[in-house]
Structures are given as structure tokens and as C-alpha cells.
């Protein structure tokens, strides 16, 4: 369940009077999600989503609001937050920071079609071509500066082989990427899995859940996408989906030579990033709720396959 803070109709009806968004017809708690309280709100004029922020770094919320406003202004399919009659987006409700969003159409794809992969690649390429100019700054909280110290916390739970693999990989990334990146920078989603998109048929209805959004290597975002969207059950890359995403992406933003050189290593590093974050959830810092955590082994398998090599990048 993802209603950590219960709200009643009267509270939400009153909250809605701050906005030009119509009056409450229906309020429905959303079962999925693990971090925030989410409600679907139907008014007499539109469909909305109300999010209460239960955890995390609330001082980061203005960055997320600015990023969503910026991408929305550039006509990307993201839920640009509603602003109240005074122009303020970030609110407080039931003692929690709160945002009201338009409800985007569609469902999360589980087995994305080639057309859906192309649509995602095209939109991500478009997003990166504009997000390069976004002025906000939030260092990537899951890059090598996080991986290197955090991996020590999970080593005790791994087999000797996996301990060696994880440590060797991090040494390899440090040697390869060094301290300063020469890869193109910009604002990134940071967690663009299938379950953070909504598709209405082949049409990408929306990209949601920007709470890992940050600034850093654009290639980091693209590698996360390929590892989730274009990987078969055995961890191998699925060539059709891989090529569809990367071809469509590059119609919007061509990869540079340094990105092409870094690509196989970035696929490995982002696979390890999720292997590690999922291990941390299982062993080190389990959440208070009883939802089944994501399987860390999935990304151990993906990393194993990426070590065998990447597919050629489409021209």
C-alpha cells in the first residue's frame, strides 16, 4: 500500500480551494508506490494526483518542482505540478510537503513493444537535448561518489566471489571515469524504469516519479533505461529493443565519441548501482512497510552479462 498518511474528503476538498482545479468529486488512495502517499483526485473539471512526501530530503523538493516546470514548459510529457493562486507549487497538507499534479494517461508497460521503445528513446533524447540547458543543480546522489563508500556496507552479505566482483568493478570504474567527467552533462531522471512511465497504447502518456532527478552524465540515464527496458529474462541485451531505443534517442541527440567509448562501462556501472541499492534495501536499511523489495540478484545477473560485452551502438 502507498497511503502512509490517510486523508479524508473534507481535507482534500479544502486543499483544492487553493488552486484553480475544480471541486472534489472523488478521492482514491493509490496502492502502488513505496515511498510517498499518493491519491488520485477527481474534480468536476479534471483528473489529478496528490502526493504527500513521507521521507527523503525535503530540501530537494524545490529542485524537483523547478525541473518538472522546466520540462513541462518544453512540452515533455511530464506531470508539471499545479501552482496555487499565488503561483506556489510546493504546499503543506497533514503536516507533510505536498504537490498536486495532472494525472497522466496510460499504464506501465511490462513487455514494451518496439514502438513503445522507440517512443521512449525519442522522448528521452528530446528531454536530454533540453535538460542540458536547465540551470538547477543537484549532484547525482547515486554516482561513483556514492557507490564507492556504500558498497562496503553490503560486502558481508555477499559470497567471496561477489565481494571480489563488486570491489573490482568499483576500482575499474574509478580508474576509467576518474574524478571529473568529460561526458555531456544535464538534468536526468535518474530512475527511468518501465514502472516510471505510462503508455496509452504506443503513445507515451507520461514520465513520472522524478524524485531521483539530478544533474550529471546524460549517459547514466540512458544506461539505466537500456538495462531495464532492453534486457531479457536471462540478463542479455535484447537487440531489437536496444536498437529501437538508441536509434530514436539519437535522432534527438547524437552520442559523442567519449560517450560511445564510455558506454560499455556505463552499462556495467548502472547495473551495479541497482544491485547495490537493492542489496541495501534488503540487508541494511529495510523500509518500515512490508512490500516485497525488488530482487538484487536481477542486477547481479545483468552485470554478469554486461561484463561479457555490449552490443554495437547504432550509428
Ligand X SMILES: N[C@@H](CCO)C(=O)O
- Positions 110 through 149 that interact with ligand ATP (CB under 6 A): none
Task: Name which of 196, 214, 213 is nearest 205 in CA terms.
Answer: 196
Residue number closest to ligand ATP, CB atom: 33
- Positions 45 through 64 that interact with ligand ATP (CB under 6 A): 49
Contact segment (CB under 6 A) with ligand ATP among 111-119, 141-149, 205-213, 254-262 equals 205-213
The single residue among 79, 81, 190, 213 that binds ligand ATP, judged by CB under 6 A, is 79
When CB distances are held under 5 to 8 angstroms depending on the partner's kind, the choice from ligand ATP, ligand X, none that residue 103 binds is: ligand ATP
Q: How far is the CB of 105 from ligand ATP (least distance, A)?
A: 8
Q: How far is the CB of 214 from ligand X (least distance, A)?
A: 13
Strand partners, 206: 198
Length of the chain in terms of residues written: 315
Alpha-helical segments (H) within the chain: 9-16, 61-73, 114-131, 144-150, 160-177, 218-229, 239-252, 257-279, 296-307
Residues near 156 by Cβ (< 8 Å), separated by ≥ 6?
none
One character per residue 15-34, x = contact with ligand ATP (rule: CB under 6 A): ---------------x-xxx
2 binds ligand ATP (CB under 6 A): yes
Q: Which is nearer to ligand X, 142 or 253 (CB)?
A: 142
Given phi > 0 = left and psi -120 to 50 = alpha, else beta, which region is 57? beta
d(CA 186, CA 192): 15
When CB distances are held under 5 to 8 angstroms depending on the partner's kind, the choice from ligand ATP, ligand X, none that residue 122 binds is: none
Taking each helix axis from N to C terminus, what angle separates 218-229 and 239-252, rounded to the nearest 10 degrees? 150
Q: Which is nearer to ligand X, 2 or 255 (CB)?
A: 2
The tally of CA atoms less than 13 A away on the side-chain side of residue 233 is: 2
Contact segment (CB under 6 A) with ligand ATP among 98-106, 110-118, 141-149, 217-225 equals 98-106
- Positions 241 through 300 that interact with ligand X (CB under 6 A): 274, 277-278, 294
d(CA 264, CA 262): 6
Q: Which is nearer to ligand X, 24 or 117 (CB)?
A: 117
Q: How far is the CB of 111 from ligand ATP (least distance, A)?
A: 17
In this structure, the strands spanning 37-43 and 24-29 are antiparallel
Residues near 272 by Cβ (< 8 Å), separated by ≥ 6?
147, 166, 169, 170, 173, 299, 303
Residues that bind ligand ATP (CB under 6 A): 2, 30, 32-36, 38, 49, 79, 101, 103-104, 195, 198, 206, 208-209, 211
Residues that bind ligand X (CB under 6 A): 191, 193, 274, 277-278, 294
Amino acid at each position: 500500500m502507498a497511503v502512509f498518511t490517510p486523508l479524508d474528503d473534507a481535507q482534500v476538498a479544502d486543499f483544492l480551494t487553493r488552486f484553480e482545479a475544480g471541486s472534489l468529486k472523488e478521492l482514491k488512495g493509490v496502492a502502488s508506490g513505496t515511498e510517498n502517499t499518493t491519491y488520485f483526485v477527481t474534480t468536476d473539471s479534471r483528473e489529478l494526483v496528490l502526493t504527500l512526501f513521507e521521507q527523503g530530503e525535503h530540501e530537494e523538493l524545490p529542485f524537483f518542482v523547478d525541473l518538472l516546470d522546466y520540462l513541462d514548459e518544453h512540452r515533455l510529457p511530464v506531470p508539471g505540478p499545479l501552482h496555487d493562486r499565488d503561483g506556489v507549487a510546493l504546499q503543506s497538507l497533514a503536516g507533510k510537503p505536498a504537490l498536486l499534479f495532472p494525472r497522466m494517461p496510460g499504464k506501465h508497460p511490462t513487455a514494451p513493444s518496439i514502438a513503445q521503445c522507440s517512443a521512449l528513446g525519442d522522448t528521452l533524447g528530446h528531454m536530454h537535448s533540453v535538460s542540458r540547458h536547465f540551470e538547477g543543480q543537484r549532484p547525482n546522489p547515486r554516482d561513483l561518489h556514492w557507490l564507492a563508500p556504500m558498497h562496503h556496507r553490503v560486502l558481508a552479505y555477499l559470497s567471496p566471489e561477489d565481494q571480489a566482483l563488486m570491489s573490482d568493478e568499483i576500482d575499474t570504474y574509478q580508474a576509467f571515469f576518474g574524478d571529473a567527467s568529460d561526458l555531456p552533462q544535464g538534468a536526468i531522471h535518474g530512475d527511468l524504469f518501465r514502472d516510471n512511465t505510462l503508455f496509452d497504447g504506443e503513445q507515451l502518456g507520461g514520465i513520472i516519479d522524478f524524485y531521483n532527478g539530478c544533474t550529471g552524465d546524460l549517459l547514466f540515464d540512458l544506461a539505466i533505461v537500456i538495462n531495464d527496458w532492453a534486457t531479457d529474462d536471462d540478463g542479455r541485451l535484447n537487440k531489437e529493443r536496444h536498437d529501437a531505443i538508441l536509434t530514436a534517442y539519437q535522432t534527438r541527440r547524437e552520442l559523442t565519441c567519449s560517450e560511445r567509448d564510455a558506454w560499455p562501462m556505463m552499462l556495467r556501472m548502472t547495473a551495479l548501482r541497482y544491485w547495490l541499492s537493492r542489496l541495501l534495501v534488503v540487508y541494511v536499511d529495510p523500509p518500515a512497510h512490508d512490500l516485497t523489495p525488488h530482487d538484487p540478484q536481477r542486477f547481479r545477473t545483468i552485470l554478469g552479462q554486461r561484463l561479457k560485452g555490449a552490443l554495437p551502438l547504432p550509428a
